[in-house]
Amino acid sequence: MFLSVKSCKKEDLILVAQEIGENVPPTAKICDLKEIILNSDEYKSDPDFVKGILENAVTDRKLQEEFELEKIKLNKEQEFELEKIKLKQQQ
């Protein structure tokens, strides 16, 4: 399951484990999270469902990261334009 979902991060695994009703210890490592998920009743009864949750978690995280990067880029462009205006006014 984890091999088919590339670029899976710890935060994604935590989300999946919580979504399927598992308790996640605060000190859990990636290997612990994988074990929790693979040994869960939810995964044993419907692995495709759990895989879908993981795929959605990864997709949502990537979209959020792209959104944040775009926001940073726009802010930098706005700052640059503002600096250009200030420089023009000083001349």
Q: What is the pLDDT of residue 6?
A: 77
Q: Give Cα 8 distance to the centre of its chain.
A: 8
Q: pLDDT digits over 43-84, tens only?
A: 999 999 999 999 999 999 999 999 999 999 999 999 999 999
Q: What is the pLDDT of residue 43?
A: 96
Decide if pLDDT at 1 tops 80.
no
